[in-house]
Amino acid sequence: MDVSFLQEELKRWGELIITVGGSTFEIHGGDNVQFDIQKNIIKFSAPDAQYILNANSIAVVKMHLGHIAQ
């Protein structure tokens, strides 16, 4: 999946629920998320760890209706 598309959708929806390799991650617009368009990766931190996701491995992106950022 294209990182620039995901970045725009996060701005639009305010939240993305991403499934990668059977693991699910919930990313919010206010989170410290970095989108590296050249490497096609997403970096973010959670209380327990730092994550680097290969956008080519993303199987599903879920966006809740009613969460569209105003």
Residue 69 forms part of a structural domain: no
Residue 68 counted as domain residue: no
What is the pTM for the complete model shown?
Answer: 0.82
User: What are the residue ranges in the chain where pLDDT is below 70?
Assistant: 65-70
For residue 43, tell me if it sits in a domain: yes
Q: CA end-to-end span of the chain, whole Å?
A: 25
User: According to the model, what pLDDT value does residue 70 have?
Assistant: 52
* pLDDT value of position 31: 85
Q: What is the CATH number of the domain that holds 17?
A: 2.30.30
Q: How many domains does the chain have?
A: 1
Q: The dihedral of CA 30, 6, 25, 68: what is its sign? A: positive
Residue 19 lies in a domain: yes
**Residue 11 placed within a domain:** yes
Domain that holds residue 53: 3-61
* 33 found inside a domain: yes
